[in-house]
Amino acid sequence: MDFSDLGKMKEMMSQAKQMQEEMEQKLASTVVEATSGGGVVTVKMNGKKEVLKLKIDPTVMGSSASDLELLEDLIIAAMNEAGRRADQAMQSSVKGMMGGLNLPDLPGLN
């Protein structure tokens, strides 16, 4: 390995660090929303998969145990869907960012 290779390696590491910082900012600023039960439960989540808001339609509140179980299931479904949407949004962002680099094709990013 000669010194020009070391310079290229340093440049690549610097680019990687910058990309990581940009990714952290994107994760925090990306917001997705998902609903379940026809809009009975709505979850807003950021790209870090932190729940920002949970909204439950008051009409779903019943007095039986089965109503409570249904509500719990709807919350789980909305949170899981929001997580999937956050993953999709971040995968799109990563592909866009990686497109600007002259890297060989990497498995899983094409």
pTM: 0.61
C-beta neighbour count of 77 within 10 angstroms: 16
Q: What is the CATH number of domain 29-91?
A: 3.30.1310.10
The one-digit pLDDT tens for each residue of the chain (110 residues) are 567 788 888 888 998 888 888 888 888 888 999 999 899 899 998 888 888 999 888 887 776 778 888 888 899 999 999 999 988 888 887 777 666 555 555 455 44
Which residue carries 């299931």 as its tokens?
73
